[in-house]
Chain A
């Protein structure tokens, strides 16, 4: 193989790259643009030529896409950074905040989610998780997904997103708190409604 055709890359890898981008960018248009930028970059890069195995091409393309996604995150973080400081108002949707009373006790103690391993087997659960991720403020979702899905180290994330370490801990904390609460409300709420 001496030459890579754009059409072939699109047919072979377009859907996968789109899913990969959509999971992280959480916006179909942004994901489409990222796929386009990735394939354009791939075509203009010389070192793309000569890959024989499909899996090697996919790994290479995914590597390019990852950089495109980080670039986007960094731009977004610059344009709409989370305010510094411990707790700012209104950056979690209503009902996903106010976790503690003034004396530091839980407003509502976490209720058991049942058998957590079994939960992961249930189709419905993934829909609820998707909904809850979409309800997280974008800045929180970005850093949280980098941490949990990419399993990136905190220092690396801070460098990439240009946030302080302390701020990153606060954002990750708020993302986890918000997500947990949302899952509890929607998942347990639904289950109870069915009973």
Chain B
């Protein structure tokens, strides 16, 4: 029987690689009887989704702009190159 510590590692790694057959069975068995790790597993899936939303929002957030001093500095650096 996996410990919660081992189970949490497998849950994380399942997002990065295909687990082996034994690992999948062991994890499934653990999750079947462990509420805490089942919740953890749900949260890991959700976290991945949340990060993707977060990235889209950050890239589209028009209140975040290149600071004007930086823009001026860049403009000067670009002159002579175009």
Query: Which residues in A have some Cβ–Cβ distance to B below 8 Å?
Result: 3-7, 9-10, 14-20, 22-23, 28, 32, 35-36, 39-40, 43-44, 99-100, 103-106, 109-113, 116, 119-120, 126, 129-130, 145, 147-149, 151, 154, 168-169, 172-173, 176-177, 179-180, 183
Cα(A147)–Cα(B40), bound, Å: 19
Cα(A179)–Cα(B47), bound, Å: 9
**Across-interface contacts of A183 in B (CB, < 8 A):** 47
Is B64 a contact of A19 with CB atoms below 8 Å?
yes
Q: A36-B74, A109-B36 are in contact. Are A148 and B51 (CB under 8 A)?
A: yes
Cα(A22)–Cα(B65), bound, Å: 10
The residue on A at minimum CB distance from B62 is A15
Q: A176-B44, A177-B8 are in contact. Are A43 and B59 (CB under 8 A)?
A: no
Interface assignment of B22: CB less than 8 Å from any CB of chain A: no
Interface contacts beyond A120-B50, A176-B15, A176-B47: sample of 14 additional A-B pairs, CB < 8 Å, sorted by A? A16-B59, A23-B59, A36-B77, A44-B81, A106-B4, A113-B46, A119-B50, A129-B50, A129-B54, A145-B51, A148-B48, A168-B16, A172-B15, A177-B12
